[in-house]
Amino acid sequence: MKIQSPQELGALIRRERNRLGWTQAALADRVGVRPLWISEFERGKPTAQIGLVLRTLKALDLFIRVGEGREEKDSVSTIDLDDILDPGVSESFVREGEEFVDSYLRKVRGKADAEGEDE
């Protein structure tokens, strides 16, 4: 979920608290704050202390993931299999793939030749 404002974060906290069936007082006890703080935070309090925000998230078993401000499709990482496979293993995969393609092409060509002889 992408959160871009204190109001959106507060709404997420409220939804998760309600999903768990907790009152603001119950969450406040777990975080170590007064219920008034939870109420203000859920309404999007822009000056909430980061330490209390993190404790609130932890109490709800939520976490923050930070990423770059690009579109999601741009942030997908590309993995080069050669970087993670043993060189001998990747060469073997390539060789087996080439052999498979060659074998398939021989079969297809042989079938086409046999069909041509039938005419």
Specify the pLDDT at position 1: 73
Q: For 43-86, where are the alpha helices, taking DSSP H only?
A: 50-59, 81-84
- Could you give the C-alpha distances from 116 to 95, 104, 107, 119, in angstroms and in order? 31, 18, 14, 6
Domain coverage including residue 101:
81-118
Residues in the chain: 119
CA 97 to chain CA centroid, Å, is 32
Q: Specify if 76 maps to a domain.
A: no
Overall domain count for the chain: 2
CATH at residue 28 = 1.10.260.40
Q: What's the rounded Cα separation, in Å, for the pair 13 and 38?
A: 9
Instruction: Tell me the pLDDT tens digit for each residue of 11-43.
Output: 999 999 999 999 999 999 999 999 999 999 999
pLDDT at position 100 is 73
